[in-house]
A and B are shown apart, each in its own frame.
Chain A
């Protein structure tokens, strides 16, 4: 029974809970037990909120018993990335800077989850302040990939994706600034969606790079991701960059896709994202996906987006520039860590000592890169040029979407690499985000759906699907149709 409950999809669990076949408390306990059994190996959760989760589950069970109408995911458990504030529940962002901090308020995403009756199991591990591609930059130890515990689960949201792959939760929330939802999804064999920028509120999402940060749903199936998408999306007046437009009908699109017909859908294959530097098994998996999409009736052709070759350098100027400003808030005065305040030191000295002690190496590197790129004398050559590349990338997307409904590419150039392999080589680490970054710079939606396992190492591969802004439903339809055609590809044994 427990085994059935942890392997079920969110949609299946919701149906069982709402019909009274099983209680939310039973479902929640099964997942809490699974976390106790496996978290020592995977380190996906930084904090498990047993009492809060069970209290929420009981509330849903009472409502079901009383015959009340509950929302579509009420009673289903979820893993929340530790970058979203949760009132009275620890929120660390994977940093020592916020160790022990209890936020005084809920993020909008947290509030919406609670209002929808979703059961928040706890908070998941991540690269410090979401800066990284492997979750090795967490101050609380790396998360391990359930498919191979010696390998990384991707990052920055490695904890959320590993929790899904390890059957610790059927749903999770991630945030994606340069690929932090999609790249972990790809390397753990799970679904990860970055919605249109502004589609999901950033209120209470601890800021890394505000013009790029976007929260989104993670799940093991496309339909589950769509159901979660509709819970968290929508206009929020607490976020000045929130888009005041109706939420794209992603659940209907996913259900439509499940009928397996993509006749007339025009799909462009981005030619920049293949060839040198790409693992042969990843490319073979991608080609197999292209063939299956053709069989489903899609019209497929190559499309060139030349500026995408410059997305990685542009991103590694824009994101650090914004982070150098955003992380100035960690000043040792209002919340978080303070060290060195012995009565003799000035505010500035205490601030510098605290930031030195509280931030890890990657965060320091990015703050300094950003400080450099924004400094007078270098601004035009670095930050200014990166902003122009951002314009070119947006234009390349616009041109491509004039001909194609969606674009596709591999999500990542390689499968999961070994823990420690790229830890001392920042540029090698940054290349994990090669294919995911353009969508962040343009603010367009993109997702990763598993395309099975690489034939050379047996590790998961992701297919990336990109759509125009506010057309999130298009990629859900294609992803759901592809997922059904692809079929099952097994799961990790833990």
Chain B
């Protein structure tokens, strides 16, 4: 298995929305390399003829009757929001400056 580079860790952090520091990149690159090399041993016995298991319980879609039931009110749903306005979640800008 290829070992993981510092640049790859930086890319992973970006994908995972983690603004990691330079020091963390050094630390994590070393640790992730050790972990990934260790867990790569699953490949030793995972041959092509074995079906994968994603879940211990065979899952099928679960349905219920489409009836109105009590649920969280607007105030409750917003009670933990970092910022709310006019009964809605207030978020930072989502479009670029040029838009």
- With A104-B77, A317-B42 given, is the CB distance from A384 to B52 under 8 Å? yes
**Cβ of A391 and Cβ of B51 under 8 Å apart?**
yes
A74 within 8 A of B: no
Kindly supply a per-residue 1/0 record for chain B positions 58-77, scoring 1 wherever the CB is within 8 Å of any chain A CB and 0 otherwise: 01001010000000100011
- Contacting B at CB under 8 A, from A429-456, are 441-444
Instruction: Give Cα A348–Cα B24 distance, bound, in whole angstroms.
Output: 20
- State whether B91 touches A197 (Cβ < 8 A): no
Given contacts A317-B42, A385-B42, contact A365 B35 (CB under 8 A): yes
Are A364 and B20 within 8 A (Cβ)?
Answer: yes
Interface contact A317-B28, CB-CB below 8 Å: no
Contacts of B14 in A (CB 8 A): 352
Q: Are A313 and B17 in contact (CB under 8 A)?
A: no
Q: Which of A236-244, A400-408, A410-418 contacts B (4 or more CB under 8 A)?
A: A236-244
Is there an interface contact between A371 and B39, defined as CB atoms closer than 8 Å?
no
- The count of residues in chain A whose C-beta lies closer than 8 Å to any C-beta of chain B is 70
Q: What is the chain A residue whose CB lies nearest that of B80?
A: A335
Out of B17, B24, B42, B94, name the residue touching A310 (CB < 8 Å): B42
What bracket does the count of chain B residues touching chain A fall in?
35 or more
Do residues A335 and B18 form an inter-chain contact, with CB atoms below 8 A?
Answer: no
Question: Which A residues touch B94, using CB under 8 A?
Answer: 346-347
Complexed CA–CA distance, A331 and B10 (Å): 19
Q: How far is the CA of A393 from the CA of B20 in the complex (A)?
A: 36
Judge whether B34 and A390 touch: CB under 8 Å.
no
User: B-facing mask of A295-326, CB < 8 A → 1, else 0?
Assistant: 00000000000010010011011000000100
Q: Which of B15, B41, B56, B89 has a CB less than 8 Å from the CB of A313?
A: B41
Q: Name B42's contact: one of A341, A352, A372, A382 (CB within 8 Å).
A: A382
Question: Counting CB contacts under 8 A, is A14 at the interface?
Answer: no
How far is A442 from B53 in the complex, measured between Cα atoms in Å? 9
Give the residue name and chain of the A residue nearest to B71 (CB).
Answer: A105
- Enumerate chain B residues within 8 angstroms of A257, measured Cβ to Cβ: none
- Asked if A351 and B57 sit within 8 Å, CB to CB, the answer is no
Give the dominant DSSP class at B's interface: loop
Q: Which residue of the partner chain, among B8, B9, B54, B81, contacts A334 with CB atoms under 8 Å?
A: B81
- The answer to the question of A15 belonging to the interface, with a C-beta cut-off of 8 Å to chain B, is no
| B96 lies within 8 A of A346 (CB) | yes
Partner of A385, one of B24, B46, B72: B46
A100 nearest CB neighbor, chain B only: B80
Q: Which residues of B contact A346 (CB under 8 A)?
A: 92-94, 96
Asked if A288 lies at the interface with its beta carbon under 8 angstroms from chain B, I say no
In the complex, whether A394 has a CB less than 8 A from a CB of chain B is yes
- Residues B62 and A240 in contact, CB atoms below 8 Å apart: yes
Contact B39 A316 (CB under 8 A): yes
Question: Are B46 and A389 within 8 A (Cβ)?
Answer: yes
Residues of B within 8 A of A352 (CB): 14, 17-19
**A193 vs chain B, min Cβ distance (A):** 17
Q: How far is the CA of A266 from the CA of B17 in the complex (A)?
A: 51
A332 within 8 A of B: yes
In angstroms, how far is the closest chain B Cβ from the Cβ of A310?
Answer: 6
* Contact, CB under 8 Å: B41 / A391: no
A sample of 11 cross-chain residue pairs with beta-carbon separation below 8 angstroms, ordered by A number, consists of A104-B79, A241-B59, A307-B45, A310-B44, A335-B82, A347-B94, A364-B20, A368-B16, A369-B39, A382-B40, A389-B42
On A, residues with C-beta under 8 Å from B are 101-105, 197-198, 211, 237, 240-241, 243, 307, 310, 313-314, 316-317, 324, 328, 331-338, 341, 343, 345-353, 355-356, 359, 361, 364-365, 367-369, 371-372, 375, 381-382, 384-392, 394, 426-427, 441-444, 469
Which B residues contact A (CB, under 8 angstroms)?
A: 1, 4, 8-9, 12-21, 24, 27-28, 31-32, 34-36, 38-47, 50-57, 59, 62, 64, 72, 76-77, 79-83, 89, 91-94, 96
Given contacts A198-B57, A384-B46, 18 further A-B contacts (CB under 8 A): A104-B76, A104-B79, A104-B80, A241-B59, A334-B89, A335-B81, A345-B92, A347-B91, A355-B19, A356-B21, A365-B31, A369-B35, A372-B8, A382-B36, A386-B46, A388-B52, A389-B42, A427-B38
